[in-house]
A and B are shown apart, each in its own frame.
Chain A
Amino acid sequence: MKLKKLILPLASFAMALFVGGLLVAFSDAKVLALKSQPLSMLSHAFSTAGSAYWALFRGSVFDPRLAEDHWLHGFYPLSETLVAATPLILTGLSVALAFRAGLFNIGAQGQFIAGAIGASWIGFTFELPYVIHTIAAMAVAIAFSGLYGGFVGFLKAKTGAHEVIVTIMLNYVAGYFLLWLLSTTAFLRPGRQDPLAPEVHKTARLPHLFGSDLRANLGFIVALAAAAGVWWLLNRSTWGFKFRAVGANASAARTAGISVPRVTTSVMFIAGALAGLGGAAQILGSEPAMTAGVGGSFGFDAITVALLGRATPLGTVFAALLFGGLRAGGLTMQASTETPLDLVLVIQALVVLFIAAPALIKSLFRLKNIETGETMASKGWNG
């Protein structure tokens, strides 16, 4: 029963890797040059795709060449995977939690930026002792991003403004606001022209987990704790029950006496806070100087993580590790095989596309009676 749930995500992932491999192989100039000799073209295509994926593995899990001087260094790529996975877990949880309450949070990116602004501001402006500084920075990040997310829920509850539209727009607003902030004297690093904030103080940083050579830091543990917290909230608390009730059937929940506006607002507040905590973890953990591009593509990545993880906390953690690995490995792949990092984006999109269409995967793999879970049923703008 448990295993059956894994078949669809794994089959989707395999399909996406396969299509990605085709893309790598048949956009390669050397492969295309062998058009007249189909057999050697095929073998060359196979080895091109194979070396790209081998580099992907070396960049995300274990690199034997790095292990030669010290065995721990061989796991440097794995540590990079954990670093990349940390913000993905937190933003993914943000989207997953909102999903469970029937809300679609596309605004993880804006909320992430709000959190990063808060953490960065506390981190470089104030002088505080260790631990307290970190906690203060995270608390402010949570407050900023929670309000940024909660505002969406509030608008939806009060005026019916669709959260998808509002969060898309707020992502852009946050991006431009950050750009402006980084041009002000309060946030621009002295002596710099390009948008770059000062580094946060050492006292606010999250400590490294496996010594200073590996970048993996406490942020990953914070993300795991947040996942456990979301699991508890959804499955063991009264609030979570209300969230799920509204997600399953809002009008039935209303009839049962649950205040839907209050649930909408608080779900979006918590979702915003989770995404913002991701921003804080990134600033305090691995990227202490905030840039204009801090938001990356987390809005989309978070959605793919939550969808692949079936909107459950545990699934989200695994999906984030997988995509974090793709991220970290993609950099090595780009450097050593000249395969653009954007392949990762294609693979991510394909995974979600295949997951979203269980009927397609079922017929491709001739699977019967597999667990597909609830598909993402459409609700529409007015819903």
Chain B
Amino acid sequence: MSTSEIRTLSAPERRRKRGVITMAVLGLFGLIFFAFLPKTGQPVTYNFVLGNEWVLMKEWIINSKTGSLGFSLLSLAGVALAAVQFRARKTIRFASAIFGFAFLMSFLCWSAAGKFIPFTGLLQGALLLSVPLIFGAMAGVLSERSGVINIAIEGQLLAGAFMSGIIASLTQNNWLGLLIAPFAGAAIAWLLAVFAIKYGIDQVVLGFVLNVLVIGLTNFLYKKLLIPYQSTWNAGGTFAPIEIPILSKIPVIGPIFFSQSIIVYLMYVVVIAIHIALFKSRWGLRTRSVGEHPTAAESVGINVNRVRFRNVVIAGAVAGLGGAFFTLGAVGSFSKEMTAGKGFIALAALIFGRWSPLGAVAAALIFGFADNLQGLLTITGTPIPSEFMLMAPYIATIIAVSGFVGKVRAPAADGIPYKRGGAH
């Protein structure tokens, strides 16, 4: 390839090229480190059965060295396919997916040598851990695509968790708790919208302050009311999983996706609705236009600040709904600061997914998987300290924003208050 050819590469092509190189380096690293460096191989047992789904294969036992070697070679095949497709100027998404899967399996075979891996359970847990991340990231998409930075995701999640927890407990009705959660998140978002859009205050500062306000308020009320009067204020329950007929019987996929609580199904609806609405509807076009070029949007008669206001409040409602997952979906009762920084990982997923709904979902799933894998490896004993696994999403985000895997660009007007007439 001559130098003139390199110069003519478009931005997505440059990104793809860097992606292929990164994958090649990682693949070779995996081959050497996971397959050739360990002196002896030990059997790894994968278990695929979780509930009462149809059984295709119950267990799979493989030698760790053989497994790592096989999957490393598969990952390198993925790299080769990616290289071919890059030359043919095609998208490398499919090849990247093969690479990602094979590289992870190679890593798993190496790290769990001599151990037992509940494969389906691992993935199911990963999905559950990514539920709040996905709701939070969707809230980020709604708000930031229309041009308002949403750092208050954490506060919105926490508000949703708190209100759904206490309402479910006071009324002894989980459905009422679930109903109130979006309103709690929307209330925080309303504050963000008023101060950011009406008063034009720095949205990052504001988001931070709102987070702390919610943390302070919920901690205060938790200690003052929820602990002393636990039986009335903090004794909600969780939603039972709903098994979808037939679908839930599919091996591996069934228990992961179709044997979940109502909140997870709501998440599927929210993600699909946002994806379609953002790119196919009039609302979506308006949202994206006020986020990218508000002046142009106003010139065609769109009320920029009204669109933004509405989107921010809807975003808060989505995050609030996600917050209900902490109480009604997972634990059953509220505990102090139970969102534990998930709102910021959701923000990271949003950025890592380049502000697109499906990208953010993919990033959230990866982060959820890393989190769950970390938990599993901590229990079974791992060659890598668990703290480093926990750092992974944050480091990945720093790498993403510093343009290592291509320039990540926010919506052009994200965070800039709009005044009529276009004067900032």
Q: Please give the residue numbers on chain A whose beta carbons come within 8 Å of chain B beta carbons, in ascending order.
A: 23, 27-29, 104, 106, 155, 158-162, 164-166, 168-170, 172-173, 176-177, 179-180, 183, 297, 300, 303-304, 307, 339-340, 342-346, 348-350, 352-353, 356-357, 359-360, 375-383
The answer for the CA separation of A159 and B205 in the assembled complex, in Å, is 23
- Residues B199 and A380 in contact, CB atoms below 8 Å apart: no
- Residues B212 and A379 in contact, CB atoms below 8 Å apart: no
The answer for the CA separation of A159 and B223 in the assembled complex, in Å, is 45
Given contacts A169-B394, A170-B398, A183-B385, contact A380 B213 (CB under 8 A): no
- Residues B398 and A166 in contact, CB atoms below 8 Å apart: yes
Given contacts A169-B394, A169-B397, contact A357 B201 (CB under 8 A): yes
The residues of B that contact A164 with a CB separation of less than 8 Å are: 151, 204
- Residues B212 and A345 in contact, CB atoms below 8 Å apart: yes
- Residues A378 and B201 in contact, CB atoms below 8 Å apart: yes
The residues of B that contact A376 with a CB separation of less than 8 Å are: 201-202, 205
- Residues B199 and A346 in contact, CB atoms below 8 Å apart: no
The residues of A that contact B391 with a CB separation of less than 8 Å are: 172-173, 176-177
Q: Could you give 15 example pairs across A and B, Cβ below 8 Å?
A: A27-B224, A29-B229, A168-B344, A172-B341, A173-B395, A180-B387, A300-B211, A353-B210, A375-B202, A377-B202, A378-B201, A378-B415, A380-B413, A380-B414, A381-B144
B175 an interface residue at 8 Å Cβ cutoff?
A: no
Given contacts A357-B195, A375-B200, A376-B202, contact A180 B385 (CB under 8 A): yes
- The CB with the most chain B CB atoms within 10 A, among A27, A162, A179, A378, is that of A378
The residues of B that contact A297 with a CB separation of less than 8 Å are: 212
**Chain A binding surface SS class:** helix
The answer for the CA separation of A23 and B149 in the assembled complex, in Å, is 29
Give the top 5 A-B pairs by smallest Cβ distance, nearest first: A380-B415, A345-B216, A381-B410, A342-B219, A180-B387
The residues of B that contact A159 with a CB separation of less than 8 Å are: 401-403
- Residues B204 and A348 in contact, CB atoms below 8 Å apart: no
The answer for the CA separation of A148 and B210 in the assembled complex, in Å, is 27
- Residues B205 and A379 in contact, CB atoms below 8 Å apart: no
B348 an interface residue at 8 Å Cβ cutoff?
A: yes
- Residues A379 and B398 in contact, CB atoms below 8 Å apart: no
Q: Which residue of B lies closest to A180 (CB)?
A: B387
The residues of A that contact B209 with a CB separation of less than 8 Å are: 304, 349, 352-353, 356
Give the size range of B's interface with the partner.
35 or more
Distance to closest chain A CB from B406 (angstroms): 11
- Residues B398 and A169 in contact, CB atoms below 8 Å apart: yes
Q: Please give the residue numbers on chain B whose beta carbons come within 8 Å of chain A beta carbons, in ascending order.
A: 144, 149, 151, 195-196, 199-206, 208-213, 215-217, 219-221, 223-225, 228-229, 341, 344, 347-348, 351, 385, 387-388, 390-391, 394-395, 397-398, 401-403, 407, 409-417
Distance to closest chain B CB from A194 (angstroms): 15
- Residues A300 and B208 in contact, CB atoms below 8 Å apart: yes
Distance to closest chain A CB from B230 (angstroms): 13
Q: Which residue of A lies closest to B416 (CB)?
A: A380
Q: Which residue of A lies closest to B219 (CB)?
A: A342
- The CB with the most chain B CB atoms within 10 A, among A106, A176, A381, is that of A381
The answer for the CA separation of A122 and B413 in the assembled complex, in Å, is 47
- Residues B199 and A170 in contact, CB atoms below 8 Å apart: no
The residues of A that contact B395 with a CB separation of less than 8 Å are: 169, 173
- Residues A378 and B416 in contact, CB atoms below 8 Å apart: yes
The residues of A that contact B414 with a CB separation of less than 8 Å are: 380-382
- Residues B397 and A380 in contact, CB atoms below 8 Å apart: no
Distance to closest chain A CB from B42 (angstroms): 26
The residues of A that contact B210 with a CB separation of less than 8 Å are: 349, 353
